[in-house]
Structure 1
C-alpha cells in the first residue's frame, strides 16, 4: 500500500453506490409495477396476470438479510457483561459503537456482520483463533474487527451488502439447467440475457468494492495497532499464517476421539481441547514463522480474496510509526471473560469432536 493511500477515499465509491442503488431499485420497481398492474389493469385479463407475476418475482428476488445461527452459541449482553464491556471500550477507542450479539464458533477466524431487517451488528469469534491468542492479542483482534465499522467498509454497508447478496441470488436463480429438457433448453435461452447481465453486474460491483475492501483491511490493522500496540498487531498477523494448521489440529483431535486412537474417549475428548490447541500452536518455533512469512511473500498468502496479502499487511503495520497499547486486558478481566465463555467453549468443543472428522 502506497504511503497515504489508506487515508484516501475510494475512487470507485460513486460507481459502487450507483450500481447498488440500481440493483436494489430493480426489486422495488418490479413490486411497484406489479401492484399498479394488479390494481389498475382490471379492464384487461393480461395486465393483472403480469402484475401478479411481477410481484412474485419481486418477492423471490428481494434482498435477503443474514440471521443469527441456530447451531452455534449466541451471546447477548446479559450472558457476557464483561466481554461486552470490553467490546464497547474497544469500539469507543476506534470511534464506533459496540455489537448487539456475539456468535461463538469453531473456526480459526473472526468477523463482523449485520443481521436482520434492522441490520444489527454481530461479532463472530471463532475459538480456533480466539483460544490461541494472548489477552493483548485478543484486544488487537477486537480492534481490527470493530475497526471495519469505524472505517466505513463499503462491503459491510447496508446498501452495498444487500446489492451483493441480491446479485448472488439472481445468478443462482437464473443459472441454466445442466441437463435440460426441450422446454428447459428454451427457458435457458430466454434467460441468457438477464443471466449474463446479473453476472456482469456482480463481477463489476465485486471489482469496484475489492479495492475499498482491501483498503479497509489496512485501516482495520491500524486500528488493531492503535488499541493493542503495533507489536501485538504484528503478532496477530503472524498467527494468521498458522490458521490452516489450527484447522488440521482440530480435525486430528476429532479423528482421534472418534477412532479411539491413543486411548482418548469420544465422550470426554472435548475436555481440554482448547488448551491442547493453544499448547500446540504455542510450540511452533520462531523459525517456522519466519519460513511462513517468506512463503507468504512468495505466494501472496491471504485470508481470502477481500483481504490484501498478509505479508503486505504486516509490512504496513511494522513499518509505520510504533504505537504503544491504548488498552490492556488484565488477568482478572481475562479470567472473567473466560468464565462467561465457558458454556460456549464446551458446546463448541463438543461440536468439533463430533463433526470435524467428516
Structure 2
C-alpha cells in the first residue's frame, strides 16, 4: 500500500473511530478474524490435500509421493507462519526482596488496574520503560509478561513521575480495551511476519497466501492504526487518573529533555574520552546524575523541538503536543532534586546493579573504544604531517586539503581552522559544487553575514546544479524553519519535493528493461571499454556481455546503461543467470554508477537481439 493511500485511510478511519467508536472496533475485530478464517481455510484445504495425496500413493506411486511431499511442505509453511515470534527481552532480573519499594509500587498499580502480574521485572541500560508479552506456547498463547525499566529512566525521574510512566505501561495490560488492542497488535505482527517470510523465500506455495497477504497485511495495519493510537491516549488517561494529569505531563516533558541531554551531551562526553585513553576507565551508570545538570536554554530548546513535532504514520504514539492537549496540561519541566530520584526505589540492590551495567557496557564497547583510540592517534599523526606540509609549501593537493579540513574539524575540534580550508577549496574550485556545499553548511547558524553567504551558496546550487537540489533545498528548508521563516521553508520544501518526485520517477524508469524501451550506443570511451573487456575476461562463468544505453524520459542527461550477461556453457538456466548477475554486482566492476545488470537467460533473452542491431555493444562473447 502506497504511503499516500495509507495516510488517507488512517485519516478516514480516525474520523470514523471518533464518530462511531463501537462500530469501528467491531470492524477491526471482524477484519482481524477474516485473516484467521482465511488461514484456517488454507490449513483445511492443504490438510485435505495432504490426506488425499497420502491415499493416492498406493495408485500413483511416485507422483503421489511427490504430491505428498509438496502438500506436507505447504502445511509446514502455514503452521510455521502461525507462530508469533517475539525475541526474549534482555535485562537484569530484579529481586523483590532487595528492591521492596519498587515492587510495592508495582503491586499497588496492578491492584488498582486489575492487571495481570509480571512474570519478571528486568533492569535495562535504556532510557525507557516497556511491557513485553511473549507467547510461551506459540499460537496457543499462554503469554509471559515482562516489565523492562531502564536505569537511566530511574535516575532522571522522581518516584511520582516514574509511577505515572509505569501506570501508562501497565495500562496496556489492564482489563478492557487494552487486552483487545494487544490481541489486534499480535494479529498485525503475525501477518506482517508471514508476509515477510514469503517475500524472503520465493518458493512453492506462495501463491496460496501472497495475493491475499499483499492486500490484507497493509490493510489490517492501516485499519488498526487508529485503535493503537487511541490505546496510547487511553494509557495516558489511566496514568493521569492513578497519579495526576500534572504528574503525567511532567513525566512526558522530561522525556525529550533528558533524552536530549543523554544523547547530545552525556554520552558524547563519555565517548570523547576514547580520544585519549586506550581502554574505557569511566563508569557511566555511576556517573549519570538525575540532578538538574541541564541549562535552561537547553531545556527550552529540546522542549520546543519536541512540541513542534507532528504525529506521523511511522509510529502509533501521538506527538508530545497532542498528548499534553489530551491531558489538558502544558509542558512542565520539574527535575528531581539531589537524592530524590527514582533510583532509590532499587534499595540495597542499586550499587551492584550500577556496577553490573557499567561492566557490561565496558565489555561491549572495549573493542570499538580501542579501535577509535588507534584511529584518533593515526589521524593526529596525519594532521601533524599535513600541517607541516602546508606550512612549508603554502599549499596541498586537493585531496590532502580535504583530509586536513576534516581532521581539523573532527580530530582537533578546530572549527575555525577547518572553515578556512573549506573556503579556500570553494574559492579555488568555483565549478565544484561539493566544496561550495560543504562551506555553506558550515556557514549556517554563525554570524548574520556568514549565514547569508551560506544561504546564497545553497540557493546557487539549487539554481545551477540539478544533482545538488535535494541536499541544498533540504538544508535551506530546515534552516528557514528553525529561523521561523515558514513561507521560505515551504517554498524550499516545494522545490525539494518536485526534485524528489523527479528522482523517484527516474529511478523507477531505470529499474528494469521493457520491450517498449529504445536503446542506443553506450557512449563510453575506448579506455573504459578496454578496461571492461579485461575485467570480464577474468570472469570464467561469463559467456557473453552486451552494453547499451537505455533511452529514458526522466533526467535524460544522466546516462542509463544496461549490461546484459549470459552464463557460459550448456548448463544455462535462469538460476545460474541470476547467480552470475549477483556475482558481478558484488565485484568492483568499472561501470558508471546506476548501471542495470540483467541476465540473458529466461525473460530477458530478447535483449540480445535488440543489442545486436546497435554498433559496438558486444563486450565479450565466448
TM above 0.5, yes or no, is: yes
- How far does residue 78 in structure 1 lie from its aligned partner after superposition? 6.0
- How far does residue 16 in structure 1 lie from its aligned partner after superposition? 2.2
One of 196, 204, 211 as aligned partner of 2:226: 211
Structure of larger gyration radius: 2
The answer as to whether partners of 1:77 and 1:100 remain within 8 angstroms in 2 is no
One of 246, 254, 257 as aligned partner of 1:231: 246
The answer as to whether partners of 1:147 and 1:220 remain within 8 angstroms in 2 is yes
Q: Name the counterpart of 2:152.
A: 128
The answer as to whether partners of 1:270 and 1:346 remain within 8 angstroms in 2 is no
Question: Do structure 1's residue 57 and structure 2's residue 57 form an aligned pair?
Answer: no
Q: Which string of whole-angstrom CA distances, capped at 9 and with x for unpartnered residues, describes residues 251-289 of structure 1?
A: 42552454445xx962452461333xx24xx22244544
- How far does residue 336 in structure 1 lie from its aligned partner after superposition? 4.9
The answer as to whether partners of 2:343 and 2:350 remain within 8 angstroms in 1 is no
- How far does residue 148 in structure 1 lie from its aligned partner after superposition? 1.7
1:16–1:332 Cα change, 3 Å? closer
RMSD over aligned CA atoms reads 3.8
Matched residue of 2:271: which SS? helix
Question: Do structure 1's residue 157 and structure 2's residue 182 form an aligned pair?
Answer: yes
Q: Which has the higher contact order (CA 8 A, sep 6+)?
A: 1
1:133–1:301 Cα change, 3 Å? farther
Matched residue of 1:123: which SS? strand
Matched residue of 1:111: which SS? strand
- How far does residue 26 in structure 1 lie from its aligned partner after superposition? 4.3
Question: Do structure 1's residue 145 and structure 2's residue 169 form an aligned pair?
Answer: yes
The answer as to whether partners of 1:105 and 1:125 remain within 8 angstroms in 2 is yes
CA distance in 1, matches of 2:148, 2:322: 25
CA distance in 1, matches of 2:188, 2:220: 7
Q: Name the counterpart of 1:298.
A: 308
Question: Do structure 1's residue 312 and structure 2's residue 322 form an aligned pair?
Answer: yes
Question: Do structure 1's residue 101 and structure 2's residue 120 form an aligned pair?
Answer: yes
One of 19, 23, 32 as aligned partner of 1:20: 32
Matched residue of 1:60: which SS? helix
- How far does residue 86 in structure 1 lie from its aligned partner after superposition? 1.5
- How far does residue 97 in structure 1 lie from its aligned partner after superposition? 3.6
1:192–1:295 Cα change, 3 Å? farther
Matched residue of 2:156: which SS? coil
- How far does residue 114 in structure 1 lie from its aligned partner after superposition? 1.0
Q: Name the counterpart of 2:68.
A: 48
Question: Do structure 1's residue 347 and structure 2's residue 356 form an aligned pair?
Answer: yes
CA distance in 1, matches of 2:178, 2:91: 26
1:283–1:268 Cα change, 3 Å? closer
The answer as to whether partners of 1:104 and 1:127 remain within 8 angstroms in 2 is yes
Question: Do structure 1's residue 91 and structure 2's residue 107 form an aligned pair?
Answer: no
- How far does residue 208 in structure 1 lie from its aligned partner after superposition? 1.8
CA distance in 1, matches of 2:263, 2:271: 12
- How far does residue 232 in structure 1 lie from its aligned partner after superposition? 1.5
1:204–1:273 Cα change, 3 Å? farther
1:265–1:7 Cα change, 3 Å? farther
Q: Which string of whole-angstrom CA distances, capped at 9 and with x for unpartnered residues, describes residues 225-251 of structure 1?
A: 223322211111111223244234454
CA distance in 2, matches of 1:73, 1:299: 34
1:9–1:102 Cα change, 3 Å? farther
CA distance in 2, matches of 1:93, 1:28: 39
> What residue ranges of structure 1 are gaps of 5+ in the alignment?
178-183, 321-329
1:200–1:273 Cα change, 3 Å? farther
Q: Name the counterpart of 2:271.
A: 255
1:10–1:48 Cα change, 3 Å? same
Matched residue of 1:120: which SS? strand
CA distance in 2, matches of 1:91, 1:195: 42
Q: Name the counterpart of 1:337.
A: 346
After superposition, residues 112-123 of structure 1 pair within 5 angstroms as 112-117=131-136, 118-123=142-147
Q: Name the counterpart of 2:294.
A: 284
Length-normalised TM-score, structure 2:
0.46
The answer as to whether partners of 2:261 and 2:294 remain within 8 angstroms in 1 is no
1:175–1:260 Cα change, 3 Å? same
Length-normalised TM-score, structure 1:
0.75
The answer as to whether partners of 1:108 and 1:128 remain within 8 angstroms in 2 is yes
One of 275, 280, 286 as aligned partner of 1:272: 286
> What residue ranges of structure 2 are gaps of 5+ in the alignment?
1-13, 58-63, 137-141, 331-338, 370-622
Q: Which string of whole-angstrom CA distances, capped at 9 and with x for unpartnered residues, describes residues 167-215 of structure 1?
A: 22122222268xxxxxx7xx69x95894454243222222222212221
CA distance in 2, matches of 1:20, 1:194: 16
1:171–1:78 Cα change, 3 Å? farther
CA distance in 1, matches of 2:85, 2:177: 19
Matched residue of 2:172: which SS? helix
